[in-house]
Amino acid sequence: MANIDFRFALEQVPEILKGVPYTLLVTLVAMLVGLIIGTILAFFRVYRTPVLNQLAILFVSFFRGTPLIVQLFVFFYGLPRFIMYLNDLFGWNINPDFMSPLVIALIAYSINSASYLTEVVRSAILSVDKGQLEAAKSVGMTTVQAMRRIILPQAFVTALPNLGNQLIILLKASALAFTIGIMDVLGIARMIANDGYHFLETYLVAALIYWLLAIIFEMVFSKMEQRSNTFKGNVERKAKAAI
Amino acid sequence: MLSVTNLHKYYGDTHVLKGIDVEVAQGEVLAIIGPSGSGKTTFLRCMNYLETPNRGKISINHVTIDAENTTKKQIHQLRQQSSMVFQQYHLFKNKTAIENIMEGLIITKKMPNRKAEELALSYLERVGLKERRDAYPSQLSGGQEQRIGIARALAMNPAVILFDEPTSALDPENVGDILAIMRDIANQGMTMIIVTHEIEFARNVADQVIFMDQGEIVEKGTPEEVLVHPTYERTKRFLRRLHQEPDFII
């Protein structure tokens, strides 16, 4: 324990890096699909659509209120059975095996992140001044046009810091996918660690890889925030401060 | 050209508009004055359905709407007859000055980008802000924002422009600029309805003045009749108070 075998650690890097595509796949798909579902649910919440609003509240409450790892297991054992149930019910012939662990992980993470992003998007939409919608209507736009061109772009900027947070949380949470057999960064690291009894070295390498990915995400988001701040006038304010 | 008959509006149990009747002819300027809470802004916002009236008829150009029986399409059509200049400007914050003017042209009027830009530029020039075309609202002063707001309303080429206290949020030194632009627009024959506290301006520019109080029209007539020789005690009291009011309250 006293001395760390750096050579062994270094040798394992290429192998563990092979898990990065899976880690990224789960993270990015969950972010994107979560954002789409979250935006739709946010509209149900903002407009208090009867029934759908209540269902959205229930959805958010359940998936934020239960551990992700439990959700993973429920989906892992539940989804194939659900498909068999549908087969029985409608006389379909879908092979439940298409629900590979990867597909199940993508579904579970997307739904989990949707529950958080619903609230992020909802609060961002509500933060946009009501006058913006009125102004859009006053030049003859429909509500949908106003949302797409005026409200959502502004809401997106407000939501950016929270979205960045969510992405990094997802990145780290994706490590749990090894529990259903995904060979992501942690999945591969565990395998190597168990084979060679070099637990500390392999997990340190895994930690550094996650950290590096997180730093890249942070950099991307800070660039996006800088850019989008243009219309908030921060650029000019900074310029004035510099003088 | 524009007529409103027996317009009623309730907020819950509060009766905020108690049967308003108004007629405005083509090219006429109507000024609405009255104390705060009199319903004048609510009335103006009913004209383009930013507020939904409960009863009555609104007709602009050839679009007529009966408040008790409306469709989304009717509301959309009515809105396209007018444009609005807001007290707080409400420029699109994610759009530059010129994009603010182009937005309605491209989306509502389906104008090609090139043509919209050309037209927007001519309106920017008209309000004297051509060189600020690429500035975002946050980079503009209040007076400049309101000039863009007016340009945006003008560019839609509406049958009537609704002004909701357009100078109330401005620094005193910018008020004159905006009023001058508005007078210019009026002189070119635009139909305008203006909710304002600028009594001098109403007197010089309006063809018709309405004094509203507690959700009803108390007095209606030429500026001379309403502002100089008012008949009703309520109007007299309001005008007296307005003249006594100091420029600044600290």
pLDDT digits (tens, 9 = 90+) for B148-204: 999 999 999 999 999 999 999 998 888 999 999 999 999 999 999 999 999 989 999
Inter-chain touch A149–B107, beta carbons under 8 Å: yes
What angle separates helix B142-155 from helix B97-107, to the nearest 10 degrees? 20
Does residue A33 sit within a domain? yes
Lookup: tokens for A96: 């439940």
Query: Is the residue at A79 inside a domain?
Result: yes
Q: Would you say residue A20 lies in a domain?
A: yes
CB-count burial class (<10 Å; 0-12, 13-18, 19+) for A81 = exposed
Strand order across the B55-60 sheet: B14-24, B2-11, B55-60, B63-66
Query: pLDDT category, A98, cuts 50, 70, 90?
Result: confident
Give me the number of domains chain A comprises. Answer: 1
Domain range for residue A226? 6-242
The CATH number of the domain holding residue A123 is 1.10.3720.10
In sequence order, which ranges of A91-128 are alpha helices (DSSP H)? 101-127
CB contact under 8 A, A232 and B138: yes
List the single residue in B with minimal CA-CA distance to A141. Answer: B108
pLDDT in tens, B25-34: 999 999 999 9
In tens, the pLDDT along B98-121 reads: 999 999 999 999 999 999 999 999
Whether B94 and A134 lie within 8 Å, measured CB to CB = no
Q: What's this model's pTM, rounded to 2 decimal places?
A: 0.84
Does B48 contact A137 at a Cβ distance shorter than 8 Å?
yes
Average pLDDT score over chain B? 92
Radius of gyration of chain A (CA): 22
Contact B145, B124 (CB under 8 A): no
Q: How far apart are CA A192 and CA A3, in angstroms?
A: 19
- Chain B interface includes A127 (CB < 8 A): no
The alpha carbon of residue B235 is apart from the nearest alpha carbon of chain A, in Å, by 31
- Chain B residues within 8 Å of chain A (Cβ atoms): 48-50, 76, 79-80, 82-84, 86, 88, 90-95, 103-104, 107-109, 136-139, 152-153, 156
Which residue does chain A place closest to B163, by CA atoms? A138
pLDDT at A96: 79
How confident is the model over A167-173, as a mean pLDDT?
96
Structural domain includes residue A108:
yes
Residues with Cβ within 8 Å of A151's Cβ and at least 6 positions away in sequence, in order, are: A125, A128, A132, A133, A136
The per-residue pLDDT for A235 is 47
CB contact under 8 A, B92 and A236: no
The closest CB to that of B103, out of A137, A139, A230, belongs to A139
Instruction: Please report whether residue A130 resides in a domain.
Output: yes
Band (pLDDT 50/70/90 cuts) for residue A194 is confident
Position A132 in a domain = yes
- pLDDT score for B246: 62
**Residue among B103, B104, B136 minimizing CB distance to A230:** B136
CB A56, CB A41: distance < 8 Å: yes
Q: Average pLDDT, stretch A120-130?
A: 95
Asked if residue A1 belongs to a domain, the reply is no
Out of A132, A139, A232, whose CB is closest to B104? A139
Q: Are B65 and B59 in contact (CB under 8 A)?
A: yes
pLDDT of A153 above 70: yes
Average pLDDT over residues A217-233: 84
Strand partners, B213: B216
Residue B221: is its pLDDT beyond 60? yes
Residue A166 within a domain = yes
